[in-house]
A and B are shown apart, each in its own frame.
Chain A
Amino acid sequence: MAEENGAKNGKGLLDRVRQDITDLRETIKEKGKDELEGLKEPEKTQVFRSIFRVKHDETPRNRALSVLSNVFFHLHPAKVNRDAVKYKFTWGMGGITFYLFIVLTFTGVLLMFYYHPSKVQAFRDILYLENDVPFGKLLRNMHRWAAHLMIIAVWLHMFRVFLTGSYKRPREFNWCIGVLLMVLTLLLSFTGYLLPDDQLGFWAVTVGTNMARATPLLGTEGPFGAILGMTPYNDVRFALLGGSIVDANALLRAYIWHCIAIPLIASIFMALHFWRVRKDGGISGPAPIMLESEIKEEKGHRPVILRPSGMA
C-alpha cells in the first residue's frame, strides 16, 4: 500500500513539477518584464505607491496633498506665500537653528560611540577622538562649531523676531516657547562644556555652578537660602552636581542632561514651536484673522480679537 501510494505520488509529483516549470518559463518572462519596468520607473510600482500615495502632478491639490500626506512635511503649511519666505523678512535663522540642531544630534550620537563619561576615560577619549578615531577630529569640530553657531543663530533669530514684532499678538505664546528653547540651547551648551573634562570645561562648570549657590531660596548663598536651611550639601548646586564638588557625578549628570534629557525636552518644545509658527500665521506676515465667535471668552471680559497688532 505504502509503496503503491509512493509510486503514484512520485509520478504525480514529477508531472506537476514539469507542468510548473513550463508554466514558469512562460510567466517568468512577463514577470521579469514587469520587474524591469518597475526598476525603470519605480514610482509606478505598487510598493512605491503604498509609500507615496499621491501623484506628484503640478495641480495645486496634488501639491498640497503631497505635503499633507508626508510625516516630515506635514509640520509645514501646505502652501506658503511667495513673499513670506523672503530672507529679508526671516533671515532664515529659525531654520538654520533647527538645521544645526540636526547636525549636532547626528555628530553627537557618533561621538557617543567613543566617549565614556567617567573621570578616568573622558579626557582620554577626547584625545583618542582627536588623534586616532577615523574622522574623529572632523566630527568633534563639527559638533563644536555647530554648537557655537547654534547659539549665535538662536540669538539672531530672537533679534529678528523682536525687530519684526513677531512676538506680538497672537504669537505671544510662541515667543515664550522660543525663550524656553533658547534657555534649553544655552543649557545644552553649558552641559556639553564639561564633557571633555579638560581644564577649560572643568573651571567653566566650577564657575557656573558656583553661581547656582546664589539662587534665591534654593541656593546656600542666595537670598533666604540660609534661612530655609540650605547648605552646600542640600541646595540646588548639590542636585546639579550630584555632590558638593565638580567630580565624577557631575560629569555623568552633565552627560545625561546633555545627551538625553535636554535634547528630548527641547525636541518636544520644538515640535510645539514649529506647529504654533504655522498656526499663528506662518513664518512671516500677518496673523490669521479669527472671528470673535471662535475665540474663547473669558468671564466678565471683552473677547480678545486675535488680529495682528496694528489692525485692531
Chain B
Amino acid sequence: MADPVEGSTAAPPAAKTAAVTAPKPPAAPKPAAKPKESADPPDPMRRRVIWGMIYGYLGINLLMFLRFFFPRALYEPNTIFNIGYPADFSIGIDQRFLMTNRAWVVREPDRIFVIFARCTHLGCTPEWKPAENKFKCPCHGSGYDSEGVNFEGPAPRPMDRAKIALDPTGKIVVDTSKLFMDDPRAGVNQFNDPGAYLPV
C-alpha cells in the first residue's frame, strides 16, 4: 500500500519540475499580455503528456494491428526436405519433388543441384518440356535451358538454386529457403558457391 501512495505523491512534483523547465521561454512574455488568465494558468506540459499518451496508445495499437498480419506458424510445405541418396538420381531432370516442394533435382556428370521452380520474371512455376529440352513458363513465355538458364522471354536471370547438402547418413538435404542466384545484371553469380551444388 505504501508504495503506490508514495508514487502518486511523488509524481506531481516531478511533473511540475518538468513543466517549469520545459515551457519557460514562451511562458515569460505571456503574463503581461493576458493578465486575466493568471488566476488559473493552463499547464502546457499536462496537455502534452495527455496527448502523448493518446498518440502513444494509438501508435502501439497500430503496430499491434500491423503485426497481426504476420502469422507466426505457417501450414506450408517444409522448405527443408530430404530427397534421398545421390545414387537415386540419374543424369537429367528429376520431377519427383516438383509438386510437393517446388523443386527440380538436376543430376549432371560431376554435380547435383536443385533448381527452385520459380520463374525469375514474376514467380510462376515453369514446366519441364523433355521433348524440347527446356523449361517453359506458361505465364509470359520465359524459356530456360536444362540447367535453368534463361534464353528466351522476359526472365531477367536463370532460375535460383536451392541449398543442397549431405546429412550424416549420406542422404541429400535441400533447403529452398536459402537460394543461390546468378544475376548478370548485378554481376552476382553464386552458382559455384559451396552449398549451391553437390559434387558427385
Contact = CB atoms under 8 A, between A and B. Distances in A.
Interface of A: 203, 206-207, 209-211, 213, 232-234, 238-239, 242-245, 247-249
A122 B66 CA distance: 27
Contacts of A249: 71, 75
A211 B122 CA distance: 7
Given A206-B123, A232-B177, 14 more contacts: A203-B124, A203-B139, A206-B122, A206-B124, A206-B139, A207-B122, A207-B124, A210-B123, A211-B122, A233-B177, A239-B66, A244-B74, A248-B75, A249-B71
Chain A CB within 10 Å, residue with most, of B69, B123, B177: B123
B78 to A, nearest CB: 12
Interface of B: 66, 69-71, 74-76, 122-124, 138-139, 177
Nearest to A239: B69
Nearest to A231: B177
A263 B71 CA distance: 24
A169 to B, nearest CB: 32
B139 A207 contact: yes
11 contacts: A206-B122, A207-B123, A213-B123, A233-B177, A239-B70, A242-B69, A242-B71, A243-B74, A243-B75, A244-B76, A247-B76
Nearest to A248: B75
A209 B75 CA distance: 19
Contacts of B75: 243, 247-249
Chain A CB within 10 Å, residue with most, of B66, B69, B138: B69
Contacts of B177: 232-233
A247 B76 CA distance: 8
A238 B70 contact: yes
A247 B66 CA distance: 20
Contacts of B123: 206-207, 209-210, 213
A245 B71 CA distance: 13
Contacts of A232: 177
Contacts of B70: 234, 238-239
Nearest to A238: B70
A239 B69 CA distance: 5
A243 B76 contact: yes
Contacts of A245: 76
A260 to B, nearest CB: 15
A210 B156 CA distance: 14
A259 to B, nearest CB: 17
Contacts of B76: 243-245, 247
B125 to A, nearest CB: 8
A46 to B, nearest CB: 48
B71 A243 contact: yes
Nearest to A237: B123
Contacts of A244: 74, 76
A153 to B, nearest CB: 28
Contacts of A209: 123
Contacts of B138: 203
A248 B71 CA distance: 13
Contacts of A239: 66, 69-70
B177 to A, nearest CB: 7
A242 B123 CA distance: 17
A195 B88 CA distance: 40
Contacts of A242: 69, 71
B3 to A, nearest CB: 41
Contacts of B139: 203, 206-207
A210 B121 CA distance: 9
Contacts of A238: 70
A201 to B, nearest CB: 13
A117 to B, nearest CB: 15
A88 B123 CA distance: 45
A210 B74 contact: no
A211 B69 CA distance: 19
Contacts of B66: 239
